[in-house]
Amino acid sequence: MSLLHQARFFITVNHLRDLPATAVPEVAFAGRSNAGKSTAINILCNQKRLAFSSRTPGRTQHINYFSVAPVKAPDPLAFLVDLPGYGYAEVSGTAKYHWQGLLSDYVQTRQQLSGLILMMDARRPFTDLDCQMVEWFLPTGRPIHVLLTKADKLTNSDNAKALRETRKMLQGYAEQMETPVPMTAQLFSSLKRRGIEEAQGVIAGWLNLPEAQKAEAMSAAEKSEPPAADPAV
Considering all CA atoms of the chain, what is the largest pairwise distance in Å, rounded to the nearest integer?
Answer: 80
Q: Where are the domains of the chain?
A: 3-224
pTM: 0.87
Cα–Cα distance for residue pair 106/109, rounded to 1 Å: 6
Per-residue pLDDT of the chain (233 residues; tens, 9 = 90+): 789 999 999 999 988 999 999 999 999 999 988 888 889 999 999 998 898 765 544 445 789 999 999 888 889 999 999 998 887 655 555 655 666 778 889 999 999 999 999 999 999 999 999 999 999 999 999 999 999 999 999 999 999 999 999 999 999 999 988 888 899 999 999 999 999 999 999 999 999 998 766 655 555 555 555 655 555 54
What's the pLDDT at 207? 96
Closest CA to 180 of 136, 130, 144, 129: 144
pLDDT in tens, 8-59: 999 999 889 999 999 999 999 999 888 888 899 999 999 988 987 655 444 4
3-state secondary structure string across the chain: CCHHHHCEEEEEECCHHHCCCCCCCEEEEEEECCCCHHHHHHHHCCCCCCCCCCCCCCCCCCEEEEEECCCCCCCCCEEEEECCCECCCCCCHHHHHHHHHHHHHHHHHCCCEEEEEEEEECCCCCCHHHHHHHHHHHHHCCCEEEEEECHHHCCHHHHHHHHHHHHHHHHHHHCCCCCCCCEEEEECECCCCECHHHHHHHHHHHHCCHHHHHHHHHHHHHHHCCCCCCCCC
**Cβ atoms < 10 Å from Cβ of 152:** 15
What's the pLDDT at 99? 63
Q: What is the CATH number of domain 3-224?
A: 3.40.50.300
What's the pLDDT at 233? 44
pLDDT in tens, 55-75: 544 445 789 999 999 888 889
What's the pLDDT at 55? 53
Cα–Cα distance for residue pair 148/159, rounded to 1 Å: 9
63-68 and 144-149 strand pairing? unpaired
